[in-house]
Amino acid sequence: MKKRILLIEDEADLVMTVRFRLENADYEVIAAADGQEGLDRVRDGNPDLILLDLMLPKVSGFNVLKTLKADARYSKIPVIIFTARAQEADKKIGEELGADAYITKPFDADMLLAKIREFIK
């Protein structure tokens, strides 16, 4: 059975690129275009891992992360922050809120896949 990855990202071109890479690596990809949709998809889709952008419409990535980590049903799902925000302060907030990893865009596809494999086998 394929492992399921939820990609919460509002840039459609990036969703297509990442989806292509992940599906070629034999993962199932669910996409959400904003933070609220991402939370809904977590509840409906039972993902094995979440790739989470920070700058999202409706609900910010930090608020999505905070909501997930505060809920025992979802707190164990690994979350990789996947963002263009490279400031140390953002990384620190992500870490404090429970993110498992922090990858900045532009990204190295092989590094992204290696990080995903680290969390889901």
CATH value at residue 46: 3.40.50.2300
Q: Report strand pairing: 28-32 vs 79-83.
A: unpaired
Domain hosting 71: range is 4-119
Q: How many domains does the chain have?
A: 1
Buried b (16+ CB within 10 A) or exposed e, 65-92: bbbbbeeeebeebbbbbbbebeeeebbe
pLDDT tens by residue, 32-66: 999 999 999 999 888 999 999 999 999 999 999 99
Question: The whole model's pTM is what?
Answer: 0.94
For residue 111, what are the β-bridge partners?
Answer: none
pLDDT for res 83: 86
pLDDT at residue 12, rounded to an integer: 93
pLDDT beyond 80 at 102: yes
pLDDT at 106 (0 to 100)? 84
